[in-house]
Structure 1
């Protein structure tokens, strides 16, 4: 029988690009050291399962027939609550004094986008330019036309800081793409 040698840095690199199922396999094979998910440190929330564990909630059993984008939204909402932590609860502010961050406002600078490989850039589903430019997931727009289309996202998906919003978007980019991929295919 031949012997295969795998370096720790290779396992770590594979873990960073793996989906949730592959992460489970890597953890089973190599005993990935990880911090226990907690509401006190948002960086310990690295999967939907971690969010459920930190919140002390059971993982939902999603019924057959529920569209994948709805399942993804439900998972994102659970993850968002876990990222809020113990002390933060967003409250609508009609006067606009509170600032909350949505992932697409904090994700990438133009230079980061320019330096992405084709696969990562493909996850950014944005197409709009006017006086400024919109960047982020799932934005389509038209200007100087008789029609306009926009999608506004739920308050439940906002975060209290740009750092948490960036973490939410980058760590769960595949889940965001799945959520926004209603009736079209996103290849990541």
Structure 2
């Protein structure tokens, strides 16, 4: 059998531009080479995976900075998936927070919507696991996004 050599950058570029079926195929051919939630512990980790500079998401205003960061977070975690709000049978998940006076928002749970639109509808994902992970890992960014300072 002949061995095929492929540059990692070419595989990663193919993965980033592939549709969901293409991504599944590449993940099966190259296990462990692509997105892993567990590899993301900080916003800087996320930026490294996305190939962007974290400073590009700072703008001086805590709310707008948090908004910019959350958009990137969901773009990376959703890996090309976009919610279809006209599809009532497609579930969409987002983190749910409990506000604790003195410490701000802390991750509480996740929720889903299927036929209505809630505030922050763009900030949703396709699985409960992703919503929970985002909520726990980036609670500090959500705190800046959801509170007035």
Spell out, residue by residue over 1:69-91, the C-alpha distance to the aligned partner (whole angstroms, 9 max, x if none).
11011111111222223xx4113
Is the CA contact 1:48–1:78 (under 8 Å) kept in the aligned structure 2?
no
Structure 1 portions without partners, runs of 5+: 1-37, 126-134, 137-150, 184-188
Partner of residue 129, structure 2 = 163
SS in 1 for 2:93: coil
Flag as ranges the 4+ runs of structure 1 deviating above 4 A. 117-120
CA distance 1:84–1:123, change in 2 (3 Å)? same
Q: Is the 8 A contact 1:39 1:82 kept in 2?
A: no
Q: Tell me if 1:103 matches 2:95.
A: yes
Aligned to 1:45: 40
Give aligned pairs, total.
108
Q: Secondary structure at the match of 1:123?
A: strand
Alignment correspondent of 1:175: 141
Q: Name the TM-score, length of structure 2 as normaliser.
A: 0.59
Q: Does 1:123 align with 2:105?
A: yes
Q: TM-score, normalised by structure 1?
A: 0.48
The reply to whether residue 56 of structure 1 matches residue 22 of structure 2 is no
